[in-house]
């Protein structure tokens, strides 16, 4: 979800659910050691509960990044061992780390020693064409022994050469049974299923077998899915009842951000799917994607989009 789940996206998603845990896009430990830390780590307090997802393989750098995350007020530190991008691999980040469970264990131990926050790991179930359950079981066992209690498992292999990140989300087959087996073999740990959960039926199925479910592209492309999370999972009222209400709350946020110099497009790109599947949804996206109109109308383009879609929108 790099370049997707930035602070503006997360604020919008928090308008739809108060209780689900949000994750940052992956931020590399070297970037926090040598770059603009506030630009990478600042977030709105409304985003809690919020996990900082880190990329890296140097225990000292990751410990430093975790300390920064704790200082900034994050609720969890998550190490990404699942991203298959070749760009990430060149920095020894992401899924390639599954081949080095002892190193991942040292990274986890270093972060746990550095902070009081939970340190969690996101990973795949295997690498390339390997189908051995022993591989992922031993990886989890080694990392658990280093102090990791929570594993977010993308239920596909990562193919490190020859497939794009998009193809890595589609070509390797989903094997949810592997995640279920891990949960059975490590009963003292928490397992969260990720990958291919495209509707509430799939989410509910996984919640019957493991401790949690993580969604990414479903939440991004069809964000209204999140509006059902609080009543379905947390026995709580949803924060908004209609899409129009969510849009108007986001409008107030966008106006504050524009006053700070944030471009409108940096925010509206995250809400294009709000009316997905609704009559007028295509026109809603067209209005928000019109660069000339946004330049002329500014924040009022959100009002324009709402006027286009609401007469045709179905009740929430």
The Cα 98–Cα 301 span in angstroms is 46
Among 9, 81, 83, 107, the one annotated catalytic: 83
Number of C-beta neighbours around residue 270 at 10 A? 20
Per DSSP, the residues of 257-309 read: HHHTT--THHHHTTSTTTTTTSTTHHHHHHHHH-HHHHHHHTTHHHHHHHHHH
The distance of Cα 90 from the centroid of its chain, to the nearest Å, equals 22
Is 83 among the catalytic positions?
A: yes
53 closest CA partner among 38, 74, 34, 36? 74
162 contacts: CB under 8 Å, gap ≥ 6: none
**Could you identify the residue written with the tokens 């919008």?**
12
State the catalytic residues. Answer: 83
């Amino acid at each position: 979800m790099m370049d997707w789940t930035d602070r503006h996206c997360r604020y919008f998603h928090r308008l739809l659910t108060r209780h689900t845990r949000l994750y940052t896009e992956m931020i590399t430990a070297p970037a926090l050691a040598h770059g603009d830390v506030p630009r990478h780590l600042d977030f709105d307090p409304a985003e809690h509960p919020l996990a900082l997802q880190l990329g890296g393989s140097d225990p000292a750098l990751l410990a430093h990044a975790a300390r920064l995350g704790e200082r900034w007020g994050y609720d969890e530190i998550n190490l990404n061992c699942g991203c298959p991008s070749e760009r990430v691999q060149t920095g020894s980040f992401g899924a390639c780390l599954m081949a080095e469970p002892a190193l991942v264990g040292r990274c986890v131990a270093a972060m746990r020693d550095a902070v009081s926050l939970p340190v969690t790991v996101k990973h795949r179930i295997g690498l390339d064409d390997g189908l051995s359950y022993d591989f992922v079981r031993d990886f989890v066992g080694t990392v658990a022994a280093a102090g990791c209690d929570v594993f977010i498992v993308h239920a596909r292999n990562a193919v490190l050469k020859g497939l794009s990140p998009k193809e890595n989300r589609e070509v390797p087959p989903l094997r949810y049974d592997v995640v279920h087996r891990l949960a059975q073999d490590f009963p003292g740990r928490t397992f969260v299923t990720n990958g291919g959960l495209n509707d509430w039926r799939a989410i509910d199925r996984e919640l019957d077998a493991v401790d949690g479910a993580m969604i990414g592209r479903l939440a991004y492309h069809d964000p209204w899915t999140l509006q059902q999370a609080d009543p379905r999972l947390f026995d709580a009222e949803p924060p908004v009842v209609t899409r129009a209400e969510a849009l108007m709350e986001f409008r107030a946020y966008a106006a504050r951000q524009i006053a700070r110099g944030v471009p409108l497009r940096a925010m509206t790109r995250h809400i294009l799917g709000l009316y997905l599947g609704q009559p007028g949804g295509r026109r809603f996206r067209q209005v928000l994607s019109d660069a000339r109109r946004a330049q002329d109308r500014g924040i009022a383009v959100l009002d324009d989009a709402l006027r286009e879609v609401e007469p045709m929108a179905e009740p929430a």
